[in-house]
C-alpha cells in the first residue's frame, strides 16, 4: 500500500508550510521532486530550499523529469495525455524506490484543490491498479498571499468572487454578473482582451519570495505597466509565477 501525501507549499516560501505539512515531509519514506527542464530549474531549487529549511529527518528524495505537454493539439486532449504521462512517471519512480510500499510526499505549489491537477493525476495511479491512499495537506493559496500583500479583501461586501484562468478570460471575456474576478495561470496579458473601463487590478508575482513584485491601479492606466514589468522580470529570473485580482466599480 502506498500513501501519497499531496502537500501544499504556498508560493514557495518555507514559512507558508503548515506544521502538519512539515510533519508529513519528515515522516515520509520518500519525497518526490519534479524537475521541469533547464529553463525552469529554479522551481526545483525552491523545493530543495524548502526541504533544507524544514527537514529534521533523513528522508530519501527521488528527483524525476516532468513530461512536457504537447502544444500542437487541442488543449484538453493535450492536458489529458500529459496527465497520463505524469502519472506513469510517478508510478515508475515510486515502484523503483518503495518496493514494499510506504508514505510518499509530493510538494504542490499553492493548494492541491485550486487549479492544480495533482489529485487528478493521483487518481490515475489508483485506476491503474496501484494500492493507493491519497491524503491532502492544504497550503496557503496564491490568492491569500496576493490579497494579504495588497492588504485588500478578496470580495466586496456581500458579493461573490469568480476564479478563472487567463485562457478563459481571454477567450470568453468578463464573466457574466461578476464583480470580482481572480485570474490564475495567465501566460501573459489576458486582461488586454477586456474593456478596461471601470476595472481595477491588483497584480503580484513571486508572491512571498524575496523577488516579490506588486502593482495595483485602474486597469486602463496600469495594464501596460504590468505587462512590461512581467516581461522584464521573466527575462531577469528565467521564470515567473503571477496572479491578479480584477474588480469592477469599486476599488475595495
In degrees and rounded to multiples of 5, residue 202 shows phi and psi of -120, 115
Q: List, for the chain, all residue ranges whose pLDDT scores fall below the cut of 70.
A: 39, 250-252
Superfamily of domain 142-248: Tetrapyrrole methylase, C-terminal domain (3.30.950.10)
Nearest to 225 by CA among 252, 205, 210: 205
Domain 2-137 - what CATH class?
alpha beta
- The string of pLDDT tens digits covering residues 227-241 is 999 999 999 988 899
Can you give the residue ranges of every domain in the chain? Answer: 2-137, 142-248
- The string of pLDDT tens digits covering residues 38-83 is 767 788 888 999 999 999 999 999 999 999 888 878 888 999 999 9
Nearest to 128 by CA among 98, 77, 78, 94: 94
- Is the pTM for the entire model greater than 0.75? yes
CA dist 134 and 22 (Å) reads 17
Amino acid at each position: 500500500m502506498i500513501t501519497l501525501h499531496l502537500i501544499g507549499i504556498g508560493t514557495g516560501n518555507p514559512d507558508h508550510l503548515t506544521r502538519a505539512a512539515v510533519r508529513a515531509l519528515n515522516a515520509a519514506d520518500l519525497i518526490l521532486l519534479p524537475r521541469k527542464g533547464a529553463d525552469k530549474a529554479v522551481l526545483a531549487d525552491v523545493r530543495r530550499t524548502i526541504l533544507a529549511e524544514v527537514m529534521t529527518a533523513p528522508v530519501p528524495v527521488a528527483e524525476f523529469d516532468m513530461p512536457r505537454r504537447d502544444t500542437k493539439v487541442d488543449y484538453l486532449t493535450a492536458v489529458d495525455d500529459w496527465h497520463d504521462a505524469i502519472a506513469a512517471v510517478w508510478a515508475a519512480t515510486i515502484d523503483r524506490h518503495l518496493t514494499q510500499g510506504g508514505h510518499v510526499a509530493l510538494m504542490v505549489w499553492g493548494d492541491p484543490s485550486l487549479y492544480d491537477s495533482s489529485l487528478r493525476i493521483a487518481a490515475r495511479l489508483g485506476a491503474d491498479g496501484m494500492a493507493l491512499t491519497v491524503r491532502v495537506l492544504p497550503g496557503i493559496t496564491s490568492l491569500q498571499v496576493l490579497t494579504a500583500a495588497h492588504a485588500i479583501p478578496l470580495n466586496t461586501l456581500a458579493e461573490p468572487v469568480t476564479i478563472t484562468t487567463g485562457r478563459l478570460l481571454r477567450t470568453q471575456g468578463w464573466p457574466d454578473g461578476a464583480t470580482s474576478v481572480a485570474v490564475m495561470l495567465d501566460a501573459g496579458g489576458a486582461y488586454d482582451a477586456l474593456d478596461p473601463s471601470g476595472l481595477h487590478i491588483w497584480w503580484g508575482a513571486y508572491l512571498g519570495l524575496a523577488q516579490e513584485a506588486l502593482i495595483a491601479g485602474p486597469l486602463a492606466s496600469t495594464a501596460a505597466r504590468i505587462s512590461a514589468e512581467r516581461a522584464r522580470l521573466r527575462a531577469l529570473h528565467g521564470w515567473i509565477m503571477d496572479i491578479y485580482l480584477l474588480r469592477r466599480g469599486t476599488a475595495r
